[in-house]
Amino acid sequence: MTPRKPVYKRILLKVSGEGLMGRQGYGIDRRMLIEYSREISDVHRMGVEIAIVLGGGNIFRGVSEAAKDIDRVSADYMGMLATVINSLALQNALESVGVFTRVMTAIEMHEVAEPYIRRRAIRHLEKGRIVIFAAGTGNPYFTTDTAAALRAVEIRAEVILKATRVDGVFSADPLKNPDARMFREITYMETIRKRLKVMDSTALSMCMDNDIPIVVFNFMKRGNLKKLVSGHRIGTLVRGD
Ligand code: UDP
């Protein structure tokens, strides 16, 4: 069977910190990273340019219980640094499956990674390197979903693929409510109005204003990323009217 041609040329994949911790409930599960890396490398081999934004919630979140006695700005910087730890771990896993990568950080730390420079990021993508954007937006009071939206707009990604542990966007939490219904498609405005937790409102409005579709999909199911990039209708498409 001839492999399908990819429907996207350049994608931005967002994986939350929780997605990296596997079943252990904290930190980084190396097996998980290797699995993700294989899925990502399959899509890379199709010729798709891939940028990645990772969350930091598996290590530290500025708005979490663990951060309650720390001032918000410091806590947020700690969260941003957590995304750098995750990014280095994913870089290592991706390189162990033979993919060239670059980590670019929104907070300069030359010994660790390249600083984020938009033109350079695009050049890396054109040369077939996977670029991992770390340290969020570099600003407190934001999330890595907003960083994903911002970078996607900047590098002109055609879509944000938001990796989750459920099949898409549901009317209620499917892990708690058996009657929850999954949406095949939904508009940005509806997700905001219905308070569905797709992304925070800053990230969503960035996507809406710049017309970047988001596909929420289950990254725990093998082959899903490749199916998506091959044009299969899986997950939930979040788009404009
Ligand atoms: N963060 C920030 N600015 C950014 C991105 C992230 O301050 O531009 C901090 C914030 O404290 C956040 C933490 O980093 O709670 C981890 O990011 P996020 O909660 O988005 O990770 P995820 O939920 O995707 O694991």
Report residues whose beta carbon is within 6 angstroms of any ligand 1 atom. 16-18, 55-57, 61-63, 75-76, 79-80, 82-83, 136-137, 139-140, 142-147
pTM of whole model > 0.85?
Answer: yes
pLDDT mean for each 10 residues of the chain (241 residues): 82 96 89 97 98 96 90 97 98 97 98 98 98 98 98 98 95 89 96 91 96 97 97 96 87
Smallest CA-to-CA distance from 40 within 29, 32, 50, 31 is with 50
Largest CA distance in the chain: 58
Whether 51 and 99 have beta carbons less than 8 Å apart is answered as no
Smallest CA-to-CA distance from 117 within 126, 128, 108, 130 is with 108
For 110, other C-beta atoms within 10 Å of its C-beta total 8
Q: Enter the tokens of residue 88.
A: 């280095």
Ligand 1 centroid–CA 142 distance in Å is 6
**pLDDT for 2:** 53
